[in-house]
Amino acid sequence: MSAPRLLVLLMAGLLLAPMVTATEGRAPPQCGEYDLSDVVSSSSGVAVDPGACIIIDIGIRPHSTTLAIDIEVLDDAMDVLMFDQTSIQTYQNGQNYRSTFNQESSFESMIGSVWLDWAPPQSLNQKNWYIVFDNTEHDGDEGMGDQGGMTSRFKIQLAPASVEDYPLIHDTFLLEPGERINMASFSVDSGTDLSYWVHPISGDGEVFVQSDNQLSGDLIISGTRIDGFDGQDTTQLDWTVSEFLDLQNLNLIAEAGSSGLHFSTKAWFSPVLAPLIVDYSNSTTTIGEKITLDATGTPNSLNQVLSLSWDFDSDGVEDGTGNLVEASWNTPGIKTVNLTAESKTGEITIAAHQIEVIDVEPPTAAIFTTGGVPDLNGDIRLLRNSNLTLQASNSNDDHAIASASWSVDGEQVSSASQFTVSWSEIGTYTVTLTVTDPSGNNGNTNMTIIVYDSTKPTLVTIDIREITEVEKGEEVEFKAKAADEWDDQDDLRFTWDLDLSRDSNGDGDATNDADFSGPNLKIKFEETGKTKFALTVYDQSNNSDFEIFEVEVVEPPSNTALLAIVSVVFVVIIVVSGVVLFGYKGVQRRHAIELLMARGLSRDEATTRVYDISKSVKLPAFAKAAQMAGISEGDVVKSAAQLQSEAKSQEFQSIYGNSGQIDPNAGFRAPQSSRQIDPALAEAALAAFADEAPTPAVVNSTPATSSGKVKSGGIALPQQTEPAKHSLRSQCSACGKEFSVEIPSSIMSAVVACPHCSTDQLFER
């Protein structure tokens, strides 16, 4: 196109409508650049010649602002493309721009009118945006879209879209055939109204709501589907969140049909305003008792509640604000509590709740006296015939005193608030005052009554403080107790804070977190060292008492020490058993020797016999004395002298026969000498035997010889032969020198002193 012609067209455009042209034959397009204000005022449209383009700067647009865009293309089709501040350079440089323009807000080969509500994509920084009206064969369009043709005109209107009070989503989407997207997720209170409309631009599809567990299938929430789009008509749906979906996560889904789906949509909420009162006193309380009223359960998922105000007695006067308040009343009756909720949009809703206040506290009867003198016990001492004035005016009640009654010694005497008594007789009189309140509660006293006010609970921690040390890994139980004058034990709440370094409830106090609740805490400590925990008790009015405790966690005792103790005990048992057994044997040996001596044996013979039996007979561990002596029932034990006498008697009988004649020379025969035992050797042998090494003493005596006398007939009596002896040789265990000794054949062992060092040595055959 020549320059004169371009000048003419420009002049005509200035008179009739704005118009842009471009120089043909240049690869990078030479586009006219305008501000939005330059083109929106044209009533007939802005003309764009073939091969020309216009770039309109629509300014910096944040993602939070949705733009309402109306576009109309007249006379011939054009490409309407949306670029940001970065991608517009690709277009201006003549490069391939097909992957850089915004698909949702762009239209290729467009003719006619279209409107859409579009929000810029989210980004860290706000961007400047541009709309291009392209009526040229751009080198970077890959042959797609409009390729020029004839002069075209456009009209455009662009401004921020209207904003709802509680929006969910407001944007334009472009879906491929069969594609499904989750446009927005939400979780709101039941009773909230969800409204959304869909404006189809092209294609077909549907929009609906699914819960999280429906996302993987085709099930949807009933009553939430919009489908069957009819041309360019906008379809709106209003749906109320049901109670079973209260605060459940829900999803607004769009799904394209077989031809894809290009549409704008807007969804918003109309939140429910329904103040909710929770009364922890079960709608009943007593005069003067504070109760907590809780409105934290009021639906407010969309922060729709601007303020909450309380009126405790329906008098139109605000008595409290906020989610949690405390209330009390001084008179009985049915009290109506009004909770007023105001939304951010100025909507107001009132919820009413009734609480019955009852008078359960009996009045306090008090007697005030005029006259008389009180003693240390509180009794009144009064002279006979003196007057004593009694008054009930000091009696009190949490509501009121309705009546008073007086009795003396159980007999009613007056119903007045005050009366005077007097007695002429000496005695003891009991005056009783009974007062009644309007609720029928009675209180009485005998001259004096004490009134107690409610106090804070008091922790009783003696059982906990006794536990100062626990073993690592050992389960230990801490038992909390508390006393309170007004609240029952069942109404007291105990909380345990096990980590004093962490404020889990976010109230700024790291020592009152309820890591565990209840009066009894069972816990195992897994780390050694000192550890601290806190205990707090609360009553119904949230009065509390608090205390911090510290315990030392130690390693459990080792099993090695236990095994050592068991080993020592086992050794002690063995040693004691040995001592007992050894002592028992020594005692029984001595008894055995005494038994044998009682039967005629000498100590030396008895000791030798007991020793021989212990060597030759296997005796039980706890053998008795008779077993050690070898004595059984019916046995006869004979000494060596008895055996020798019997042998001689048998010898005489064999020579002379058993004629019973008396030896005529018996009176003149020399007496036989009996064997003598050295007492010192016998004692030494006995002592050695008691120490488990019996060594019978040597019998250093020789049998007495008998000289034969010739009886009548000239026969000489045979002389007694000396017993045979054995010679034994040994080496002294003390000095090592050898020596020998001869012992009779009837002796099996003997203790002999060494001739060199005088050390006793044991010889045995």
Is residue 692 within 8 A of residue 583, CB to CB? The reply is no
Whether the model pTM is above 0.75: no
Give the pLDDT mean for 553-557. Answer: 86
Is residue 19 within 8 A of residue 48, CB to CB? The reply is yes
Using the predicted structure, report yes or no on whether residue 208 has a pLDDT greater than 90. yes
Share of the chain above pLDDT 70, in %: 78
Give residue 224's pLDDT: 95
Higher pLDDT, 655 or 345: 345
* C-alpha torsion angle, residues 655, 657, 662, 667 (rounded to 10): 20
Give the pLDDT mean for 565-584. Answer: 63
Classify domain 458-554 by CATH architecture. Answer: Sandwich (2.60)
Give residue 560's pLDDT: 57
CATH 2.60.40.10 at 368-445, yes or no:
yes
Spans of all domains in the chain = 3-160, 167-270, 278-358, 368-445, 458-554
The half-sphere exposure of 148 on its side-chain side, counting CA atoms within 13 A, is 14
Q: Is the CA virtual torsion 213, 219, 224, 228 positive or negative?
A: positive
The owner of tokens 């907590």 is: 292
In tens, the pLDDT along 669-719 reads 444 444 444 545 445 544 544 444 444 444 343 343 333 333 334 434 444
Are 3-160 and 368-445 equal in CATH topology?
A: no
- Cα distances from 316 to residues 311, 338, 357, in angstroms, run 7, 9, 20
Look up the CATH number of domain 278-358.
2.60.40.10
Confidence at 304, pLDDT banded by 50, 70, 90: very high
Which one-letter amino acid corresponds to residue 222? S
Is residue 164 within 8 A of residue 304, CB to CB? The reply is no
Is residue 550 within 8 A of residue 534, CB to CB? The reply is no
* C-alpha torsion angle, residues 171, 173, 179, 185 (rounded to 10): -10
Helix (H) or strand (E) run with residue 335 in it: strand 333-343
Confidence at 659, pLDDT banded by 50, 70, 90: very low
Query: How many whole angstroms from its chain centre is CA 445?
Result: 50
Look up the CATH number of domain 3-160.
2.60.120
Which residues of 527-576 form beta strands (DSSP E)? 529-538, 544-554
Residue 720: which residues within 8 A CB-CB, separation 6 or more? 648, 703, 704, 705, 706
Look up the CATH number of domain 167-270.
2.60.120.260
In tens, the pLDDT along 610-649 reads 878 877 777 787 777 777 777 765 566 666 667 677 777 7
Using the predicted structure, report yes or no on whether residue 41 has a pLDDT greater than 80. no
Measured CA to CA, the distance from residue 714 to residue 716 in angstroms comes to 6
Q: What is the overall mean pLDDT for the chain? A: 79
Range 342-361 burial, b when 16+ CB lie within 10 A, else e? bbeeeeeeebebebebebeb
Residue 389: which residues within 8 A CB-CB, separation 6 or more? 369, 370, 371, 418, 419, 420
In tens, the pLDDT along 189-206 reads 999 999 999 999 999 999
Measured CA to CA, the distance from residue 532 to residue 464 in angstroms comes to 12
Q: Which DSSP string corresponds to 75-110?
A: EEEEEEEEEETTHHHHHHTT---TTTS-STT-EEEE
Is residue 9 within 8 A of residue 19, CB to CB? The reply is yes
